[in-house]
Structure 1
Amino acid sequence: MSIWNYANPQLKDLVAYEPGKPIEDVARELGLKPEEIIKMASNENPLGPSPKAITAMQEAVKEVHIYPDGASYRLREALAKKFDLQMENIIVGCGSNEIIEFIGHAFLKPGDNVITAKHAFLVYKLMAKLFGADTIEVDDPGYVHDLEAMAAAVTPQTKEIFVANPNNPTGTLVTQEAIDRFMDQVPPHVVVVFDEAYYEFLDNPPDTLKYVREGRNVVVLRTFSKIQGLAGTRVGYGIGNPELINVLQRTRQPFNINSIAQAGALAGLLDQEHQDRTKAITDEGRDYLQGQFEAMGLEYVPSYANFVLVKVGDGNAVFKAMMAKGIILRAMASYKLPEWVRISIGTMPQNERCIAELKAVLGK
């Protein structure tokens, strides 16, 4: 008899999340040299982590025989100080993805539902399915979250609403005014999750922490994977009112953040100069890519993040052709966008090489 006769039934139709293709895989499959490949698929920081974070992690390696601080005290203390909150407002996860899982453990059961935008981060839907919950996908005209429609879609079974801002994979932004109107309509039985992985790339980010300070049922997610350049350490954090965070802490495994990751995240958090430098090259690179797409006559979605979504015809074909040239992009068929690819912003030489190869592939 098959093991599926005993396994949780919702797992059978669950399709695993497929991340951007690693450089090592491409080198091995296509016979290319790793150093000749550039990865512009996963919205990573092309500058790498802060030099101060590297030094801190090297020091932390000397004590890996000791269990890490299970409460991530110093990191949570620094985050609380940065946002003028209390440590009780902060939970740290193995990437913000783990905190999405904490929220699922805390609030979802079979028969519940979550609400997302149609073209939102796939992990929201995957996590809902893991807990036997349904997902209500709301149309997003112009690839922007329609918060009015999302609020109107709430049912008595709705437990979570995810608002990615800026959104991945579209790079679009919802305004403070739209968020305020939306929050006026959300009933108290719904936890609103503002996923702000790209928050640091904004010049004037909306203030969602005010809802935390008001004690609303809100979790604000942020990460060290993007502007901090620490994607490999997997550190994210959630901000919420102390009672809500206390519920989430009860779902967290002990020692979920290793000591090396904690050291790197803390040092990186305190290195504002590195973050400012990353934002500057991102702004320059985004303007360059979007200007090139306009000159090539390609439709694209104006972005507020460190990537741009661009329409290229057959997204999978372009993805494969570019990969053969040593440039890894992200095909978007899994996001119901088969004609599009998402291109992460790199250094300027990387951006220029990407555009030159894309022109050759598209015959522009």
Structure 2
Amino acid sequence: MVVKIKTKHEVESIAPYVLGKKLEDVQKELGLKSIRKMSENENIYGCSDRVKQSLASHVERLHLYPDGLATDLAEAVSKELNVRPSQLLFGNGSDEVIRILAKAYLNPGDEAIMADVTFPRYRSNVFLEGGKPIIVPLTNGVHDLALMKDAITDCTKMVFVCNPNNPTGTIVGKEALLSFIKEIPSHILVIVDEAYFEYVSTDDYLQTIPLLKEFPNLIILRTFSKIYGLASLRVGFGIMDESIVSELRKVKDVFNVNHIAQVAANAAILDQEHVRKCSQLNQEGRSFLEKEFTRLGLTYFPSQANFFMVDCKVSGDEISQYLMQNGIIVRSGSLLGYPNMIRVTVGTEEDNHYFISLIEKNLIEQGVK
């Protein structure tokens, strides 16, 4: 029987988020002995050993509701980032913080400015609240802040800057972003998504947290899903003015971050040595892939994250299928706004070498190398 209850217009007008197949299903379907997942920008090195040790002692509390304010986690994060606990709002991934922001601040017809190729949850959450996403093209894979500023109208309520940007991995320079934040009217929220902050190695990157005192309309998003290796537990957070946190707490689900996730994130942020180690290994992997892409004559966006968007000289769908048949899963650019590219996560040294060997083999088979 077909359900005839009509959904709201906004739901009918958006497509569901495209999820990849389970590794086990792909492996069985293709008859592969092993498979390497290099498609979702996860930390290939996993989480800190402290996390694993911390979880064992908390299984006896599974019958209890979690702390709705994530008090212990907020205290740990505040000490690491030198902010007040009252400036932090935690969510079921930073996705939820974006959704809470849209629910709390957008009225039908309000506008939110964002890049044309960026994290898709900005657009969908704005749209679902009756807001109007204002899409500004990237320039060479980078946010065009001048065009974004020019797009501001009397209806603008918020602006999103993903830095480093997903899926291009690019950043906007520190002076450009600082100037942009200064020029945005104080009644407009400036939301800087720093999910890949810990992977950045360039000096030309704006440290945004010190700006919170001067710009109460600034919101910074971070996550435990990437370098901290806790993607399956879904913990993200926003750093912002206390007055905004107070308003968002009215909107968020009471128990939105489960107890095990809070315990794991608390342990994870205390192990900054693990973060530094993963960042260093990622830099080494990035450098290797950059050199190999150049050697093979492949174009790519300069990345400050743990992934690359690279043009492998065939369609993204074609090369991703070729790689999957040979045991590597990447994300086709056709799903990300770049149909002739793929997005590949920086893997282990072994992963990266195998990936490059397959790309080189494919180029030879095409007769272009």
| TM-score of the two chains, using structure 2 as the length reference | 0.94
Q: Which amino acid aligns with 1:130?
A: L
Q: CA deviation at 1:68?
A: 1.4
Distance 1:137 1:180, change over 3 A: same
Q: Take 1:216 and 1:67, find their aligned partners in 2: how far apart are those partners?
A: 33
Could you say which residue in structure 1 is the equivalent of 2:122?
A: 124
Contact kept, 8 Å, 1:4 with 1:12, in 2: the verdict is no
Q: CA deviation at 1:2?
A: 7.4
Alignment counterpart, residue 144 of structure 1, candidates 142, 145, 148: 142
Contact kept, 8 Å, 2:323 with 2:358, in 1: the verdict is yes
Could you say which residue in structure 1 is the equivalent of 2:101?
A: 103
Alignment size in residue pairs: 362
Contact kept, 8 Å, 1:19 with 1:42, in 2: the verdict is no
SS at match of 1:253: coil
SS at match of 1:351: helix
Could you say which residue in structure 2 is the equivalent of 1:42?
A: 40
Q: Which amino acid aligns with 1:22?
A: K
Q: Which amino acid aligns with 1:121?
A: F
Could you say which residue in structure 1 is the equivalent of 2:190?
A: 192
Q: CA deviation at 1:218?
A: 1.5
Distance 1:201 1:254, change over 3 A: same
Q: CA deviation at 1:142?
A: 1.1
Could you say which residue in structure 1 is the equivalent of 2:85?
A: 87
Q: Take 1:199 and 1:20, find their aligned partners in 2: how far apart are those partners?
A: 25
Q: CA deviation at 1:362?
A: 2.9
Does residue 257 of structure 1 match 2:257? yes
SS at match of 1:81: helix
Q: CA deviation at 1:276?
A: 1.1
SS at match of 2:238: strand
SS at match of 1:163: strand
SS at match of 2:100: helix
Q: Take 1:69 and 1:121, find their aligned partners in 2: how far apart are those partners?
A: 29
Contact kept, 8 Å, 1:21 with 1:41, in 2: the verdict is no
Q: Which moved more, 1:5-14 or 1:140-149?
A: 5-14
Output aligned runs, 1:276-291, within 5 Å: 276-291=276-291
Does residue 333 of structure 1 match 2:334? yes
Q: CA deviation at 1:191?
A: 0.8
Q: Which amino acid aligns with 1:343?
A: V
Could you say which residue in structure 1 is the equivalent of 2:320?
A: 319
Q: CA deviation at 1:211?
A: 3.0
Alignment counterpart, residue 199 of structure 2, candidates 178, 198, 201: 201
Does residue 172 of structure 1 match 2:170? yes
Q: Which amino acid aligns with 2:300?
A: Y
Contact kept, 8 Å, 1:322 with 1:361, in 2: the verdict is no
- Superposed CA offset, 1:287-335 (max 9, x none): 1111111111111111111001101220001111111111000111132
Output aligned runs, 1:243-254, within 5 Å: 243-254=243-254
Q: Percent identity among equivalent residues? A: 38
Any stretches of 5+ residues in structure 1 without a counterpart? none
| TM-score of the two chains, using structure 1 as the length reference | 0.96
Could you say which residue in structure 1 is the equivalent of 2:74?
A: 76
Could you say which residue in structure 2 is the equivalent of 1:302?
A: 302
Could you say which residue in structure 1 is the equivalent of 2:7?
A: 7
Any stretches of 5+ residues in structure 2 without a counterpart? none
- Superposed CA offset, 1:119-142 (max 9, x none): 211111111121122211112211
Q: CA deviation at 1:23?
A: 1.3
Q: CA deviation at 1:69?
A: 1.3
Q: Take 2:163 and 2:232, find their aligned partners in 1: how far apart are those partners?
A: 23
Q: Take 2:95 and 2:318, find their aligned partners in 1: how far apart are those partners?
A: 29
Contact kept, 8 Å, 1:77 with 1:87, in 2: the verdict is yes
SS at match of 2:61: coil
Contact kept, 8 Å, 2:186 with 2:215, in 1: the verdict is no
Q: Which moved more, 1:231-240 or 1:13-22?
A: 13-22
Distance 1:66 1:123, change over 3 A: same
Q: Take 1:30 and 1:132, find their aligned partners in 2: how far apart are those partners?
A: 43
Q: Take 1:252 and 1:80, find their aligned partners in 2: how far apart are those partners?
A: 20
Q: Which moved more, 1:20-29 or 1:138-147?
A: 20-29
Distance 1:4 1:340, change over 3 A: farther
Contact kept, 8 Å, 1:290 with 1:308, in 2: the verdict is no
Q: CA deviation at 1:3?
A: 5.4
Q: Take 1:19 and 1:96, find their aligned partners in 2: how far apart are those partners?
A: 18
Could you say which residue in structure 1 is the equivalent of 2:112?
A: 114
RMSD: 1.6
Q: Take 1:192 and 1:61, find their aligned partners in 2: how far apart are those partners?
A: 39
